[in-house]
Structure 1
Amino acid sequence: MKLLELTSYLESLAPLGYQEEYDNSGLIVGDPETDITAALISLDCTEAVVDDAINKGCNLIISHHPIVFKGLKKFNNRTYIERVVIKAIRNNIAIYAIHTNLDHISGGVNAKICSKLGLSKTTILSPKKGILKKLVTFCPLKEADRVREALFQAGAGNIGNYSECSFNSEGFGTFKAGENTNAFVGDKGIQHHEPEVKLETIFPEVFEKPVLSALFRAHPYEEVAYDIYPLANSYQDIGAGMIGVLEEDMDELAFLKHVKENLKTKVIRHTALLGRRVKKVAVCGGSGSFLLNKAISEGADVFITADYKYHEFFDAESKIVIADVGHFESEQFTQELLFEIIQKKFSNFALHLTEVNTNPINYLI
């Protein structure tokens, strides 16, 4: 299949608009119209991973972390980033990254961590703001069902676990058709009163284009009246980290051993144990110290993340146990997640998990 078909599917699940500003998710190397024969999935894209792709006959690498974060001005083989990009181009291998956009969806990286730890009743720890918009449109009473359904099919109307959400109020609209019009109702030159529905619904900003396309296709009027408003509401389905509960509470030390075993980490750096039972757990794959206060305010007993600095551990202030499991260790199951996502949609496509351990950190035990 074409590379574009696969990347479009991934971006329908984790739109690029959900990534952080500093990020560089998306197609980094390659032509979207390339025919892809096999893909290699990895957490990072290193020279060894490119070699692994060559050996396995893959012309696409899908990595969680982008190999390029900032603009490259020279390609001289001087840095590992330049060498990876050059080697990929020379061997006709595309590189695609799906990073913080995959972190931020409800079925993404953090959901996989929760699954490994046996957490249930999971929700986004810190939902994002500024993502939602409201669409208000006006359509003939008899056409409202068709317009409403088209908007829902395009991705509008989802609130939490509810779908097809809208508010509808009836009234009448007035207009006078000009000489060059082809009006759906009414006569030219005469003011017309039409029974209409004011239809209101919400949608994530990344769906604005398909939602408006659906509106214009389904709406019968030659000139469609509509308003779009930005909303300050948090979007509960998108954001950083997750929080959930254990089936049964555990002793703190027993829980940390549970984490160590299930996340396959050699070392856990943690704050002092508080002598409490562990029931509610917050997680954030990768660097998550910015979520500590949110984890505390949500009543988490333990916060599992990575990349904690020495002085940041003091911020726990005996309110929570911080458990730093390591960056690679917290995100390593992202490879498994991507394999499952792609295989479910493209069951006959050749997928491989890299055999390269890209963790740059080693431990002397």
Structure 2
Amino acid sequence: MKIQKILSVLEEMAPLGYAEDFDNVGLLVGDANAEATGVLVCHDALETVIEEAISKNCNLVVCFHPILFSGLKKITGKNYVERAVIKAIKNDIAIYAVHTALDNHSEGVNKIFCEALGLLNTKVLIPKSNYIKKLVTYTILENVEKLRNALFDAGAGNIGNYENCSFNSKGIGTYMGNEHSSPEIGARFEFVESDEIKIEVTFEKHLETKILKALFSNHVYEEVAYEIYDTQNKHQNIGLGMIGELEKPMSENEFLLFVKYKMQADGIRHSALLGKEIKKVAVLGGSGSFAIKQAISAGADAFLTADLKYHQYYEAENQLILADIGHFESERYTKNYIVEYLRKKILNFAIILSEENTNPVKYL
């Protein structure tokens, strides 16, 4: 099996188009056309993890955080990033990162976070903007069903909990072909008025190439008329963070101890306690200080994230509890999810969970 086949499964799990613009996801090191010997899944692709992959005969390392985040101007082995990359290249090991592609997924990092805490009625905290596009095209009645179904099969027409969504309207199309044309209806140099159906469907941005391929492959016209628009709609099922509810309210101290236990955190830093019960909880794995206002607006009693700075605790404004549970801790179950997903999709192949603890933060 080629490494590329495994990468295709990973992109089904976390489409690269879901990633934030600042991120560096996908295949970072290696040859996708090489034969795969095994997959090692980790949180951070450090040098020790590459050594583990070598010892376990895995030539693909799937990591959550990208080891290559910004560009390298030199590769001399002087820092931990360069050493990991050099060792991977020397040993023909590919490195693939998912990061915010899985952060933004409705079943990804923050859903995993919510499930670890048993949160119910979860929804995305910050729905992704500028991600939904709209295709408009025109065809004859005899082609409508075939074309529309092909667009649906390519992923168009999915809106929230509904699929195969479209709007169709009748109208009159006109055209006249030149000497190089081969019209489906009428002849060259003939002015044609034809009954047509206008089809409108929305789709996720990363599917555009696939949608257009379906359009051109299933349309009967020699020249396909179509338009693609950006929409202002937010994608309610894709985005950063999540919010949900505890099955039963807890006191603040009880809640923080519960979180510490469930997320295996060695310490939790938090804002001032407010003397009220915790029921509604917002989460955002990794560095999530940018979402404090959204958590307050959503009515959260507590917001769990990581990497909060001193002055950011004031932003709680006595409206909720901010709790920094640790960056690694907030994402700790992600690699387990990736392993489980790959094992379900790729049978009878070595998918191994890394034994390396790559959390760089230690506590007394």
Q: In 1, distance between residues paired with 2:214 and 2:322?
A: 47
Q: Which residue of 2 aligns with 1:221?
A: 221
Return the alpha-carbon distance in structure 2 between the equivalents of residues 188 and 68 of structure 1.
57
1:2 aligns with 2:2: yes
How many Å apart are 1:15 and its aligned residue? 2.1
What one-letter code is carried by the residue in structure 2 that aligns with 1:25?
Answer: V
Q: Is 2:112 the partner of 1:112? A: yes
User: Where does residue 67 of structure 2 map in the other structure?
Assistant: 67
* Structure 1 residue 300: Cα displacement: 0.8
How many Å apart are 1:160 and its aligned residue?
0.8
1:186 aligns with 2:218: no
Which amino acid in structure 2 is aligned with residue 39 of structure 1?
V
Query: How far does the alpha carbon of each residue in 1:319-351 deviate from its partner, in whole angstroms, 9 at most, with x for none?
Result: 011111000101111111111111111122211
Residue 251 of structure 2 corresponds to residue 251 of structure 1: yes
Deviates more, 1:322-331 or 1:229-238: 229-238
Q: Distance in 2 between matches of 1:92 and 1:213?
A: 34
1:16 correspondence with 2:16: yes
Q: Please, which moves more after superposition, 191-200 or 104-113?
A: 191-200
Q: Distance in 2 between matches of 1:190 and 1:21?
A: 49
1:314 aligns with 2:314: yes
CA distance in 1 between partners of 2:77 and 2:178 (Å) = 66
Letter in 2 for 1:80: Y
Segment drifting more, 339-348 vs 101-110: 339-348
Q: Judge which range, 313-322 or 71-80, deviates more.
A: 71-80
Deviation at 1:225, TM superposition (A): 0.5
> Aligned equivalents of 2:187 and 2:59: distance in 1?
61
> Does the residue aligned with 1:165 lie in a helix, a strand or coil?
coil
Give the TM-score of the pair, scaled to structure 1: 0.97
- Report the Cα distance in structure 2 between the residues aligned to 1:95 and 1:242, rounded to whole angstroms: 28
SS state at 2:65 partner: coil
Which residue pairs with 2:53 in the alignment?
Answer: 53
- State the partner residue of 2:287: 287
Secondary structure at the aligned position of 1:64 is classed as strand
Name segments (4+ residues, structure 1) moved above 6 Å: none
Map residues 1-365 of structure 1 onto 2, 5 A cutoff: 1-364=1-364
Aligned length: 364
One-letter amino acid of the structure 2 residue matched with residue 79 of structure 1: N
Map Cα deviations across residues 12-42 of structure 1 (whole Å, 9 max, x no partner): 3322222222211111110010111111111
| Residue 165 (structure 1) shift | 0.9
- Offset, 1:142: 2.0
* CA–CA distance in structure 2, aligned partners of residues 249 and 168 of structure 1: 48
Deviations 1:158-202 (A, max 9, x none): 111111111111112111233322221222322222211111111
Matches of 1:13 and 1:148 in 2, distance apart?
26
Query: Structure 2: how far apart are the matches of 1:158 and 1:234?
Result: 13
Offset of residue 93 of structure 1: 1.0
Amino acid at match of 1:216: F
| Partner Cα separation in structure 1 for residue 269 and residue 323 of structure 2 | 6
CA distance in 2, matches of 1:272, 1:70: 37
TM-score of the superposition, structure 2-length normalised?
Answer: 0.98
Residues of 1 paired with 2:154 and 2:189: CA distance?
36
Give CA deviations for 1:125-156 in whole Å, capped at 9, x if unaligned. 00111111110000111211111111111111
Amino acid of the residue matched to residue 302 of structure 2?
A: V
